Structure 1
């Protein structure tokens, strides 16, 4: 009987350790979380959803030439209206943490737009640097700068 209780206690300990390990695995590292937000931005572009793009931006977002959050959403909406087919293909994303709640992600992107033909009408490769801030447990895009690479 004593051996049964020891086995039962051991099984409970092992179960608790497994649950703790699974909980730790489920929580994404800051680098993974930023990469996930970059992917969410690409998905919003692919879905042509200016509202989803705006939802990923910090309230004090700043882009090229002083673009604010509202202007970024308007630019996205205008591009979506101009081009029936939009594409954004990302290169490898490098993430650099800066303190507890800030990060920088750098990557290249091939942006294409077209009218639905076999080949895009326009295309450009950009070098992109984005700044991210942790806001209420969610990474928000604080800044973005992009320069043509071709």
Structure 2
């Protein structure tokens, strides 16, 4: 074999010396993006919207997943009673609509919150106009369990 004389490394090989630095920079950017956490209020707003979607989907089981084990509602309604009540309403109404007013969120630390809003509940046969509609002023107590918010209490009144 003949020795290779006068052959220089190609420009591509010289450019590879920056590859480790580029890899480190990319890793730092990925980690920084992954470290961004949504705020407690953002997570709560997301879960309120998901609860609303579960109601509109007429899914009593999904609604119950948002209720804490120690949930208490008006007139002593517990978690299982709330799930059963939701199932009855969902069976009676072919469609269920939920429209909320602005959310007034009061955080108590990172793990407890109170949400006040007005809610218009509609239900009916699924035609263009609902057969029934009710407006309520609602106050929900929430507690973060793990990474998810759960409803601990609900009180409502007709304005």
Common topology (TM > 0.5): yes
Aligned to 1:59: 69
Aligned to 1:78: 88
2:98 to 73, 85, 88: 88
Q: SS in structure 2 opposite 1:118?
A: coil
Deviation at 1:28, TM superposition (A): 1.9
- Per the alignment, do residues 43 and 11 of structure 1 end up closer, same or farther by CA in structure 2, a change over 3 Å counting? same
2:146 to 106, 131, 136: 136
Q: Deviations over 1:92-135 (max 9, x none)?
A: 22322102311112222111011233211111121111111111
Q: Distance in 1 between matches of 2:105 and 2:23?
A: 39
Q: SS in structure 1 opposite 2:151?
A: strand
Aligned to 1:14: 25
- Give 1:111-130 correspondences, 5 Å limit: 111-130=121-140
Aligned to 2:60: 50
Normalized against structure 2, the TM-score is what? Answer: 0.81
When structure 1 is superposed on structure 2, of 44-53 and 28-37 the one drifting more is 28-37
Q: SS in structure 1 opposite 2:128?
A: coil
Structure 1 residues without counterparts, runs of 5 or longer: none
Structure 2 residues without counterparts, runs of 5 or longer: 1-15
- Which 4+ stretches in 1 moved above 3 angstroms? 7-14
Q: Deviations over 1:61-82 (max 9, x none)?
A: 0111111101101110111111
Aligned to 1:146: 156
Look at both structures and tell me which one has the larger radius of gyration over its CA atoms. Answer: 2
Aligned to 1:103: 113
Deviation at 1:49, TM superposition (A): 0.5
